[in-house]
Structure 1
């Protein structure tokens, strides 16, 4: 009897690389100094293998892209299933946190689209017009959305969108690691970081990424069921996969309905499948609402869901980096390099500039989180935050948890309009492209106007200091 081993082999290779990367970080000072995430290191270990070696044995990169696609949605279901934390006294900083990311969305998309236009008009006239959007998707949303949305552009004739999105995401992780350490050291010199946080930088536990033997280990999850009936982890996995199944069924029904609109409807359906993670998140919210209405919300343990989302993100990052086609990177090396360097520098500067003006407390901690998430994922942002807030004693991480819901809702129009430049690519009508530029500019202006209203219009002045002292 013959069985399909493809998925198991992929998982074995991916996790073999993650375990290897974990041991490498415990021994190599370079990776400790720059806080290189183990999944990122694992992805780069596998990158040449999946490009040149493993395809000879039947392990293709396409399979990695599919793994990343599904893990993204699973992570979103697990995040939206979580119970909301109790009331706290830091809610005044939640909206500013959300607006900081709205500002970053607008800035990265606007810069990416303008640079795309410049390349089309000069050096690369056949470049697809949505290329610049992949900068924002890769940097601020991460490898999952960048691959998922970029891959859905195949229906518009763009065959390399997914791979380019993964490349931007990988470069964003690199910016996050090296730029984050630069910011921390810069903050130490400027005394933006407390002495206690500076002392924690010498903690080998943090640097190695593994808790040493004999130390008290943190609690990773709580049981909400009796194990003789069902394991608590199994119950949580079941809720997550029910949410993902509901998202699949909803999209299948939506595709059937849109098929009556002809080619335009099927093209829209293809786009919605690329945005699968949004529908998965909505289904997670729906399940949580049902559990609340039936007084069963107590069966949810947030720490267990953190483990599920953490597993999903770690594996997604490794598979996404390994799925990058070096042939595609070579083909688009110039716009990728120019946009990455320009975007990375602007994110670094704007994170400090905006955060020091819009936030009223823990400004440097918030700036690190904004920078980390705007170039990587939530896990990389939290890794940077943990350097200066080792036990998450500040409300920064909790505030982001609240703000993520606002960010998600505010980004829906942005995501739904993300195919507009492709209409220009197909028709040559630049109305759609400039409409996209205008939408990005609106998000940028919203973040800027909020800063002016909250902190005074004088805060918008570009002074000699990027960090304002209040």
Structure 2
């Protein structure tokens, strides 16, 4: 079978899984109440019906070709390469945005420090456990599947064959815990009167639970920049995507010629740089209005859905079994720490709408912005509070400290001692903490009152 036929065969398989996932979410009440994304459901169906589970016991399975496992590594370049393409520079540096960004920095660094510190302890009992294992929690929880796949591929390139499988597992654990525990916290918070806009989570409309927009509520997902008889509008935006990927490939090869060490810089990092550069070039040429950001966002969203579905469907159960005990210890610890740190700092730092803003932050730090907005929608259905602005600010302005961990962390984990990485991460945590205490702290708010509902 030639390459293009393989691609279309894989596309058909993943499309079936996504449609099955959509059907399951629409029909199964339990799944609706958990708000599980269709891509996650479809991925689990693929894993269940694939050669690792159904095929292992029956000899008959869904035809998940080996090439499907390669999709996440390619699609992540699309998802991250479009991160800065056509975006406007954020001008919101007010107190609300800055407090959200600082709180996000504290949570991010806590995930890094706990992951590295716990791994260094576990390495005493599991000598074959690499230090890089300690970075996978922040890749999965803070970064989500997109970042986890990018960093996981870089870990494989750096020499850890199971890095991608472990990172993907962490991302799945983060997303699942974020949604499930998030809903438990929402129920508790609503009963205690923390939520301002809903009296009970059941106020969420049924169509949102099912995930299908009613006909009367449907909106355009983008704008046509070109006329169809000249060039299909979607083709123009896809053309930009192709140019970014082509530029990234050239940049990646050029870096390897400059110095062998630069080969370690992952392709997705080059794609992010090229996306931002192309956006600036078009702006300088007066062509920025050729970019339709809503359509670009939809392309990235499609790539992310197929990425998540293919990543979970091809999760390595052998790698999961190999790292079972360390992985369970780290995941459970990270879930507990993620809840406590998000709500402690959110309660102490956020002037207004602390519960709504913290729910958005908790979802963001357990997967992606979409998870945070989903949880926020439950407690603030019409986005009337500052929760959406807060979560968006944190997500948009976190790159200065999160990207270096993704771009260079996989390489450094094999080049520098663990104490050096942990020490540097602790220093940055302390910086964020000092800023929080100096500018945003509410000493009159007692965390014990929050915990026990007083």
Partner of 2:422: 437
Contact persistence 1:420–1:433 (CA under 8 A): no
User: Distance between the aligned counterparts of 2:399 and 2:232, measured in 1?
Assistant: 32
Partner of 1:15: 15
Q: What residue ranges of structure 2 are gaps of 5+ in the alignment?
A: none
Partner of 1:380: 371
Partner of 2:298: 307
Contact persistence 1:71–1:313 (CA under 8 A): yes
SS at match of 1:464: helix
Tell me: CA distance 1:412–1:151, structure 2 relative to 1, closer, same or farther (3 Å): closer
Q: CA deviation at 1:98?
A: 1.9
* Superposition TM-score, scaled by structure 1 size: 0.87
The one-character-per-residue Cα deviations of 1:444-467 (angstroms, maximum 9, x if unpaired) are: 2233222101224837x9742347
Mean CA deviation greater in 68-77 or 169-178: 68-77
User: Distance between the aligned counterparts of 1:51 and 1:61, measured in 2?
Assistant: 12
Contact persistence 1:77–1:281 (CA under 8 A): yes
Partner of 1:262: none
SS at match of 2:435: helix
Partner of 1:429: none
Partner of 1:83: 87
Contact persistence 2:357–2:391 (CA under 8 A): no
Q: CA deviation at 1:151?
A: 3.0
Contact persistence 2:166–2:319 (CA under 8 A): yes
Contact persistence 1:37–1:380 (CA under 8 A): no
Q: CA deviation at 1:77?
A: 2.7
User: Distance between the aligned counterparts of 2:52 and 2:409, measured in 1?
Assistant: 33
Question: How does 1:155-170 map onto structure 2 within 5 Å?
Answer: 155-170=157-172
Question: How does 1:143-222 map onto structure 2 within 5 Å?
Answer: 143-196=145-198, 198=200, 201-213=203-215, 215-222=216-223
Contact persistence 1:81–1:288 (CA under 8 A): yes
**Alignment partner of 1:71 out of 72, 75, 90:** 75
Contact persistence 1:221–1:303 (CA under 8 A): yes
Q: What residue ranges of structure 1 are gaps of 5+ in the alignment?
A: 260-264, 425-431
Q: Report the count of equivalent residues.
A: 448
2:435 maps to 1:450: yes
SS at match of 1:375: coil
User: Distance between the aligned counterparts of 2:325 and 2:100, measured in 1?
Assistant: 33
Contact persistence 1:147–1:161 (CA under 8 A): no
Question: How does 1:208-247 map onto structure 2 within 5 Å?
Answer: 208-213=210-215, 215-247=216-248
Partner of 1:428: none
Partner of 2:411: 419
**RMSD value, Cα:** 2.7
2:92 maps to 1:107: no
Partner of 1:272: 265
Q: CA deviation at 1:116?
A: 1.1
2:8 maps to 1:45: no
2:401 maps to 1:410: yes
